[in-house]
């Protein structure tokens, strides 16, 4: 019976976010942003272990108390220069515990509003899938392609377009091999697609947002507070 594990790459500096403190350590409702991503995974009864992959030079992690997240959490300071490097290094760090047919969920450190319902839907829908897949939402806004002067060149059709989210869930052996063969993508599904496979999309919702800019922090905080009041 395959088991479930999770990896959270958190070695980035958050260049688009700006500031001296990496994005994953920005404060949201009294906790660093990454706390919520890790807490969601550690709370999931199906997930046996969660590896957080940090930069070897990380000087923020040890400033916080993570004991409330429980025994599932493991910290490895082997992050790379890119997301794919960090995930690959995390997979290697997990090699002694994980088998090739086990599931690995890779989740963004800066995607704090992942619900248990979305996690359950992902695991349920992909349990027997031959490839794996990811959470995603259909593109709702009108899309404009611009020219070099930032003027509209044309309107793009949004038919069939979805916005990728995380977690992205694939078998350990498959993901390890294809990330090594197709490094450099912006997400794990890109490596799977590069091998000619077709990941399945599992519908999520817009509340599972990724914090990219400072204004996103307030929105994430509002979602987290509303979720806490709702009792999830």
- With a cut of 50, list the residues of the chain below it in pLDDT: none
Q: What's the mean per-residue pLDDT of the chain? A: 95
pTM confidence score? 0.94
Mind listing the pLDDT tens digit for each residue in 25-57?
Answer: 999 999 999 999 999 999 999 999 999 999 999
Q: Which domain holds residue 99?
A: 4-230
Question: What is the domain count for the chain?
Answer: 1
Euclidean distance between CA atoms 12 and 80, whole angstroms: 9
CATH number for position 211: 3.90.550.10
Alpha-carbon span 187 to 134, nearest angstrom? 10
Alpha-helical segments (H) within the chain: 33-43, 83-93, 116-126, 172-181, 188-194, 214-230
Distance of CA 42 to the CA centre of its chain: 14
Question: What pLDDT is recorded for position 231?
Answer: 63
């Amino acid at each position: 019976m395959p088991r479930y594990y999770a990896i959270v790459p958190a070695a980035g500096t958050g260049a688009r976010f700006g500031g001296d403190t990496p994005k994953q350590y920005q404060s949201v409702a009294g906790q660093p942003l990454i706390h919520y991503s890790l807490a969601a995974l550690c709370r999931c009864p199906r997930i046996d272990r969660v590896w957080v992959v940090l930069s070897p030079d990380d000087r923020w992690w040890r400033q916080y108390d993570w004991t409330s997240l429980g025994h599932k959490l493991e910290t490895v300071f082997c992050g790379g220069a890119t997301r794919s490097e960090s995930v690959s290094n995390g997979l290697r760090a997990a090699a002694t515990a994980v088998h090739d047919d086990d599931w690995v969920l890779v989740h963004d450190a800066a995607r704090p509003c992942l619900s248990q319902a979305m996690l359950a839907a992902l695991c349920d829908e992909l349990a027997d899938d031959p490839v794996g897949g990811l959470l995603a939402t259909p593109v709702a806004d009108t899309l404009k392609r611009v020219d070099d002067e930032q003027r509209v060149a044309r309107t793009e059709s949004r038919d069939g377009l979805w916005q990728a989210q995380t977690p992205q869930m694939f078998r350990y052996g498959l993901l390890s091999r294809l990330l090594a063969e197709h490094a450099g993508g912006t997400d794990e599904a890109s490596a799977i697609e590069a091998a000619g496979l077709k990941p399945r999309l599992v519908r999520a919702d817009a509340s599972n947002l990724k914090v990219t800019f400072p204004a996103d922090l307030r929105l994430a905080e509002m979602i987290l507070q509303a979720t806490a009041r709702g009792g999830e």
